[in-house]
Structure 1
């Protein structure tokens, strides 16, 4: 079987290798959820050090989702179809990512550093908010989805020292849509969330990030993700 270096020569180093079966499953679960939200989803893969790779996807709620796994990536940063990576993960070997789709990624990523820890919040609280929001969306939404007024509504306020963070429903929906909070059963219902399970709220001057056990969501606090060249 060709190694990473061999495949790198074949496709301009656009190669991903996730050797650990558990990490392959983690990434596959993450991408399966992204494709469920958008069948044409792309994933932006970014190398972090020698042994970590972060996968970023858009959630459809003007918030990004990310999962980091132990893996090797032949380039620093590349955007490809999520379905292509999913198919490659099923083979068990190195994944030739083929041609990049960098032009399909339309927003900036949050910084790697600079986030401050604001507070920890019970995960059950966020799932309860998502349940209430889903009911309101059902009652007042349309064929185009939940109304923007609901999505933009601040549903949680977190403060620490001189940092004040407002969490909109968009971010809560993104977190639960990606199923980042562990639960029993097939569905993330609030009653199935352990009371001890927490999510961590972090922020910079321009970004909000919520870290859960299975991944994180991030949103630019000044509004939608800005469009920048890839």
Structure 2
């Protein structure tokens, strides 16, 4: 997904200084995109925070945690008065409904733990049918119901590698179940009907698998999920 930001109000341009924590998403479709993203994040964690980073003068990437030790991101066309800020997802969601620039208020930077993946340097390994990933999530959900406890799926299930993706020069990466769960929980794959089910996914719909030496990323039509790969070099000869 692809000079200081300027916020445009209904009455004309009103420059926003770079030290103002203001978000403006003038396009209704982009407001809806971001609102949908935040709704899914809050469904996973009612106290979710969103970390927003400015990309150039007209794009903003919104990052959230998913509860699967996997990050999720959606990039929208918007204007942000600061380079990087973390705030409550619920307050941003409420502000999007007004259609006006959102005063983000005090930052919650201390609530964000961990680093974000790099913006570039990823190797494209392969494209995987989205239906295959949803089928894996469905099987995992069945196992979680069978073997899970009051705290959710067992870590052994979440950490299990469910897909091996091999790219050029025989580089490969293991995709754990927790990343697949995060992708489907954020509803990043287009589908017919209200529920994400494998038979509702078009066979031609693909998810792109990318990786660096330390990060795995899955790019779907409506957003991406990323997870840090632990121990050594994740890209290894098959």
Query: Under TM normalisation by the shorter chain, which class is it?
Result: over 0.9
The 4+ residue runs of structure 1 with deviation greater than 2 A are: 1-6
**2:203 is the alignment partner of 1:195:** yes
2:105 is aligned to 98
Cα drift, residue 4 of structure 1 = 8.0
TM-superposed CA distance for 1:164, in Å, is 1.0
- Residue in 2 that maps onto 1:89: 96
Give unpaired runs (5+ residues) of structure 2. Answer: 1-8, 232-238
Structure 1 residue aligned with 2:45:
38
- Distance in 2 (alpha carbons) for counterparts of 1:188 and 1:4: 41
| 2-structure distance, mates of 1:55, 1:73 | 11
1:121 match: secondary structure: strand
SS of 1:210 mapped into structure 2? strand
SS in 2 for 1:75: coil
1-structure distance, mates of 2:108, 2:25: 21
Query: Which residue, 58, 61, 67 being the options, matches 1:54?
Result: 61
Q: Provide the C-alpha distance between the structure 2 equivalents of 1:75 and 1:163, rounded to a whole number of angstroms.
A: 38
CA distance in 1, matches of 2:92, 2:199: 34
SS at match of 2:97: helix
Q: Aligned ranges for residues 19-168 of structure 1 at < 5 Å?
A: 19-160=26-167, 161-168=169-176
Instruction: Quote the Cα distance in structure 1 between the aligned partners of 2:34 and 2:170.
Output: 36
CA RMSD of aligned residues (A): 1.6
1:174 aligned residue (166, 170, 182): 182
Check conservation: 1:46, 1:54, Cα contact below 8 A: yes
Other structure's SS at 1:185 match: coil
- Deviation sequence 1:82-120 (CA, Å, 0-9, x none): 001001000000000000000000010000010010000
Distance 2:81 2:158 in 1: 38
Q: Distance in 1 between matches of 2:171 and 2:97?
A: 44
CA distance in structure 2 between the partners assigned to 1:4 and 1:38 by the alignment: 36
Q: Secondary structure at the match of 1:188?
A: coil
State whether residues 34 and 41 of structure 1, in contact with CA within 8 Å, keep that contact through their aligned partners in structure 2. yes
Equivalences, count:
221
Q: Give the number of the structure with larger relative contact order, counting CA–CA contacts within 8 Å between residues 6 or more apart.
A: 1
Please give the alpha-carbon distance, in whole angstroms, between the structure 1 residues aligned to 2:58 and 2:158: 37
Say whether the 8 Å CA contact 1:4–1:74 is kept in structure 2. no
- Alignment partner for residue 214 of structure 2, among 201, 206, 213? 206
Please report the TM-score for the alignment, with normalisation by the length of structure 1: 0.93
Alpha carbons of 1:126 and 1:197: their partners in 2 closer, same or farther (altered >3 Å)? Answer: same
TM (normalized to structure 2)? 0.90
